[in-house]
Structure formats: structure tokens, C-alpha cells
Amino acid sequence: MTTIHIRNLEIVTLDDAGTILHDADLVVQDGRIAYVGEAPPDLRADEVVDGSGRVAMPGFVNAHCHSPMTFERGWAEDLPFDRWLNEKIWVAESALTPDDVYWGAALAACEMIRSGTVAFNDHYFYMDRVAEVVRESGLKAVLTWCVFGIGPEAEVGPGLEDTVEWIKETHGTADGRIRTFLGPHSPYICPPDFLSRIVELAHELGQGIHLHLSEDSEQVTQSLERHGMRPVQFVDSLGLFDVPGGVVAAHGLALNEPDRDILAEKGVHVAHCPITYMKLAMVFPPLRPRLAAGVRVCLGTDGPGSNNDMDMFAVMRQTALNEKYLMLDPEALPGDTPLRMATQNGARALGFEGMGALVPGAPADLILVNLDAPHMRPIHSLIANLVFAAKGGDVTDVMVDGRWLMRNRELQTLDEARILYEAERHAQAMVRRGMRQMREYRG
């Protein structure tokens, strides 16, 4: 049994009572938290760590992202959504290879660990290659292989039936660190019978579903024309919200009251990605009506083509600021609410049992954040410092299932220098290929 004893810590437990501990111990045994507060006097640890000047908190859970899209960071700037997508994102992605996905996701993994993310919910292509990155990095993830259902030539990589084989082989592997969801892109791209087939498969396989849903009023208008129902009501009529593994719906911005009631009643997790909305100048409402209706809200970075980073501190802070501003209410999303959204709400959405609170028995998925920095002093409120002042670069140490993925800002599992080199090389080659193909196609 491996025992790690971290001493002299400030601890934001995010337990039900919101307990905060000062000058406290945190003991990890065999991948789980054994003691929080005071270690037993006769404890024999394999490793003793001095946590002075650090605050421990649960690691972040990025509830919606497209991690390999790091290769499009800075590639599609200052454009309206349709031009962003058609002239830049699709052009680059038309030349996508499985190797690009591997190096893009590896770059994302370095960035996520460095900024304190312990688990992510990925929605992209060639998820077999992202699974390699998850295995190697020590992170946890739910991997969703995105499928369109509009003909084999439209799919990137194999279609639905082959991704089902991959799900059977992959779900629950890496000691349970890798989980999978079925991944229809969205009801505005996927045909109804294809969505129904996915619902059937989810029941057969005991799987959840991760999709984009009701992102803007245009999608609502289109859905009313095609199906006589709004997107939320339409996918609900197909039984999509009743699948055994739960549903993560990205965005859910254009909702009316009945939509919100359906999402709440069915326990759908809505992943909120405010930096994308602001950068692409999308209309987005405050969270209060969704929260008041009982909708479960978690946070995500979305893809680095539209964010442009994967720093959950930034997303959490942006969420709190937007809510206060949009509601014209400085009391909106008070206290540790944004921290809980960015950690335990995401963990619940991803189905990682017990993650998101530093309590005995929970998996040791935690981060240490540096307090010995000018912007983190004075410490009137650890919570306020974490929500409104901390940055990803303040994370010093990251642990997942009791294993260090970063110690004193040094990555322990990934070869960062090689990943930076290969990710740069693959990203440049990919956009060049994409541009060339587009020129040839247009003649």
C-alpha cells in the first residue's frame, strides 16, 4: 500500500458543508484520500510532501472540449461563426490524420495538466488515438467519437458501427480512467433515424451520449420547420435523454421554459463554455433560469480553435463574471458555486464516482495551487482568490488516482519538449495540406 502524506496545506474540500481547513494534512493511500485534516500520529508514509504556501482543491473537470483542436489555436481569428467554420476550421480539418489527432491531444494533455485539469470530456474524431494519450498521461477522460450519420463519406474515420466496436474495447480501460460516450454531432446535422439508432445502441451498451444541443435560435427555427418541435423536445421524443449512461449536452443556449423543465427532469448535464460564446459573439443568456429550473450545469473550455486555451480557471472566472454582469446582480453565483461547477458538477456529468470533493474515500484527483504569488495575497478568502485571481500557471502539482502527473511544475508522465515539437510540425503541415486541397477542389 502506497501512502503519501501532504502536510501544512490549506484545503478547500468542496465537501457538502464547504469545509475549508488551515495548516492541515492530506493523506492518500492507494489512490484514494484516506485522511483530511489531521493524519494519525502513527502514520508511516512512503512519501512526505511539504504543502506550505499551497492550497489543495479537487482537480478541474473539463466537461466539453475538442482536445485535438489545439492544432487550430490561433488559426481562425476574428471571424463570424459561419466563416470561422467553413473557411478555416473545416479547411484545416479536411486534411486531418490520426497522427494529427494524437499530437494535438498530447499537446492538450500537457496544457490541461499544467492548468489543473484532471478529467476531460472529449468530442472529436480518431478517439482511439486520444485514448493513447489518456493512457500515457495518467489523466481521466470520457471519449466521444463524433459521428454525423449523413453518409460514410461525411464521417471522419469509421462510422457508427465501427465506433461501437471501439467503445466495447475501450470503455472502462486504463483502470477505469477511460470511459466512453456515444457521440452524435447534433440534432441539426444527424438524421432522426440515426439518432434513434444511437439511442438503441446506448441501451444495448449501457452508454451515455455527448452531443451539441440547441446552440442558437436558428437551430430552434430549423428544428420547428423540420420536426415541428424545438431541438430539446425533438431529441426527448426520440428517448435520447433516457439512455443509461446519462447525457452531456454542450451549450444549450436557446431554451424556453418547457425545454429547461425537460432537461432538469431528465437529469441532462449542460456544459457551459462561455469563452467560446464571447469570442464568437454568440447570444447567450444568464444561467439563472436554467439553475432555477434545476438543470445541472457544468463547465467546459470547448475547442482551442475558439477559446483559445484549455485553462479551467479562466472558464470558471468568466462564468462568474458573465453571470453577475448579465443578471446585473453582483450576488449571482456566489461563494464556491463556480468552483463546484468546474469540478464536481463535471465529475458527475462524466460519471466519475466520488470525484470532485476532498473527503475520505474519494479518488485522489487533486491539485495544489501556489499561494506565494502577489495576486494570491492577502488571503481574506481562499475561495475568492481561486475563483477570481488564480490562473492555470499557479498550479504546482497535480495528482490523479494518487499518482503525480505534475510535481513542482514538472510534468511526470509526458515528454513535453517532444510533444511541443511534434504538435507544431503536425499543425503546420495539416493547415498547409488543407489549404492545398481546398485550392485544388475549387480549381
**By the criterion CB under 5 A, which residues form the site for Zn ion?**
250, 302
CB 333 within 8 A of CB 324: yes
- Measured from the CB of residue 65, what is the shortest distance to Zn ion in angstroms? 7
Of 155 and 302, the one with the shorter C-beta distance to Zn ion is 302
Residue in the block written with cell 486534411: 95
Rounded CA gap, 324 and 313, in Å?
Answer: 17
- Measured from the CB of residue 278, what is the shortest distance to Zn ion in angstroms? 15
Of 236 and 302, the one with the shorter C-beta distance to Zn ion is 302
Q: Is 32 helix (H, G, I), strand (E, B) or coil?
A: strand
Of 138 and 346, the one with the shorter C-beta distance to Zn ion is 346
Task: Find the farthest-apart pair of alpha carbons in the chain and give their distance in angstroms, rounded.
Answer: 76
Alpha helices in 206-343 (DSSP H): 217-227, 231-237, 257-265, 274-279, 288-293, 312-326, 337-342
- Measured from the CB of residue 302, what is the shortest distance to Zn ion in angstroms? 5
Non-local (6+) Cβ contacts of 317 within 8 A are 338, 387, 388
- Measured from the CB of residue 438, what is the shortest distance to Zn ion in angstroms? 23
Of 57 and 213, the one with the shorter C-beta distance to Zn ion is 213
Closest Cα partner for 148 from 219, 211, 216?
Answer: 211
Of 235 and 383, the one with the shorter C-beta distance to Zn ion is 235
Of 141 and 250, the one with the shorter C-beta distance to Zn ion is 250
- Measured from the CB of residue 308, what is the shortest distance to Zn ion in angstroms? 14
- Measured from the CB of residue 8, what is the shortest distance to Zn ion in angstroms? 41
Of 141 and 395, the one with the shorter C-beta distance to Zn ion is 141
Rounded CA gap, 366 and 56, in Å?
Answer: 7
What does DSSP say about strands 60-65 and 395-400: parallel, antiparallel, or unpaired? Answer: unpaired
N residues, the chain: 443
- Measured from the CB of residue 249, what is the shortest distance to Zn ion in angstroms? 11
Rounded CA gap, 157 and 97, in Å?
Answer: 9
- Measured from the CB of residue 25, what is the shortest distance to Zn ion in angstroms? 40
Of 123 and 129, the one with the shorter C-beta distance to Zn ion is 123
The strand order across the sheet containing 296-299 reads 60-65, 117-124, 140-147, 178-184, 208-213, 247-251, 269-272, 296-299
DSSP state of 126: -
- Measured from the CB of residue 404, what is the shortest distance to Zn ion in angstroms? 30
Q: How far is CA 261 from CA 188, 265, 268, 274, 299, in A?
A: 21, 6, 10, 22, 20
Of 280 and 435, the one with the shorter C-beta distance to Zn ion is 280
Sort residue 427 into left (φ over 0), alpha (ψ -120 to 50) or beta.
Answer: alpha
With residues binned 3-state (H G I as helix, E B as strand, rest as coil), the percentages for the chain, rounded to 5, are 40, 25, 35
